[in-house]
């Protein structure tokens, strides 16, 4: 999300378009190098779901006028949804006396980061986006296809769905979004970095891995802490002492939750 913070006038839809292109090109290079380029329906489907979730989150940012709050609410719902589906749908083994308090700590810590939300129904877009983000990999879990083959199809699905969505929005508004050179290239680089990180996410939730969906996916959502650190150091967010104390407490709670969640797989 760095380009959206660095260039405030850069449209979130242009960001999605450029990031999707970066994802596609980054994964294409990996697929060619590993001879795993293919098109699997399950990958295309998950890519479509990912874009739907992202679209609801970007819509939420615009409608709710709250970038941080929308992201935090979305992440909280995705953590809860992935944990419940991992335990109930896939019957994954986890020490519930560790994992349940861990999830509660994660959600409580996230709630401390979000501004007062008022009527919860006002934020239905970010909540729905988070729900889809928490469930969109269920088809992949059922399909049990190799990670590299899935990622090839997944990136294609994201690219096609994102560009179609942006094209429809351009037709509706009867004008193109502005694509500045610097934010566009930065967004493409973010897409490439996302692909690298996503490989780690899939290894974490893989059926044959040690973490699984109930624990592995929520732990990958702790990338929020990197986002917060970047915001404080680079963009000067949380400038006052009281804000940083509140941030430190919330981060400490989230880290405790993450540690307990990791222990639940021991």
Position 162 scores a pLDDT of 97
Cβ atoms of 104 and 48 within 8 Å: the answer is no
Q: Which positions ≥6 away from 195 have C-beta within 8 Å?
A: 22, 23, 26, 27, 30, 151, 155
pLDDT of residue 65: 65
Q: Is 238 left (phi over 0), alpha (psi -120 to 50) or beta?
A: left
Listed as ranges, residues in the chain with pLDDT below 50 are none
pLDDT at residue 210, as a whole number: 64
Q: Where are the domains of the chain?
A: 2-263
CB 57 within 8 A of CB 171: no
CB 214 within 8 A of CB 94: yes
Q: What is the pLDDT of residue 64?
A: 65
157: exposed, middle or buried (Cβ count in 10 Å: 0-12, 13-18, 19+): buried
Of residues 110, 105, 78, the one with CA closest to residue 205: 78
């Amino acid at each position: 999300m760095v380009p959206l913070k660095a260039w405030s006038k850069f449209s979130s839809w242009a960001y999605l378009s450029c990031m999707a292109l970066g994802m596609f090109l980054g994964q294409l290079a990996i697929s060619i190098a590993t001879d795993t380029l293919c098109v699997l329906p399950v990958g295309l489907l998950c890519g479509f779901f990912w874009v739907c979730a992202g679209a609801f989150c970007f819509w939420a940012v615009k409608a709710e006028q709250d970038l941080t709050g929308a992201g935090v609410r979305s992440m909280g719902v995705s953590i809860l949804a992935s944990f419940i589906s991992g335990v109930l749908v896939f019957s994954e083994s986890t020490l519930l006396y560790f994992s349940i308090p861990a999830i509660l700590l994660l959600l409580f810590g996230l709630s401390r980061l979000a501004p007062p939300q008022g009527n919860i129904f006002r934020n239905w877009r970010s909540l729905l986006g988070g729900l889809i983000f928490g469930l969109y990999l269920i088809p992949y879990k059922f399909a049990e296809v190799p990670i590299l083959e899935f990622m090839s199809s997944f990136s294609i699905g994201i690219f096609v769905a994102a560009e179609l969505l942006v094209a429809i929005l351009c037709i509706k508004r009867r004008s193109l979004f502005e694509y500045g050179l610097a934010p566009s290239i930065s967004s493409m680089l973010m897409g490439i970095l996302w692909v690298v990180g996503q490989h780690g996410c899939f290894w974490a939730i893989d059926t044959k891995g040690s973490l699984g969906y109930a624990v592995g996916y929520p732990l990958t959502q702790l990338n929020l802490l990197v986002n917060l650190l970047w915001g404080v150091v680079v963009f000067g967010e949380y400038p006052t002492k009281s804000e940083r104390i509140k941030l430190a407490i919330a981060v400490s709670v989230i880290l405790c939750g993450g540690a307990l969640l990791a222990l639940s797989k021991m």
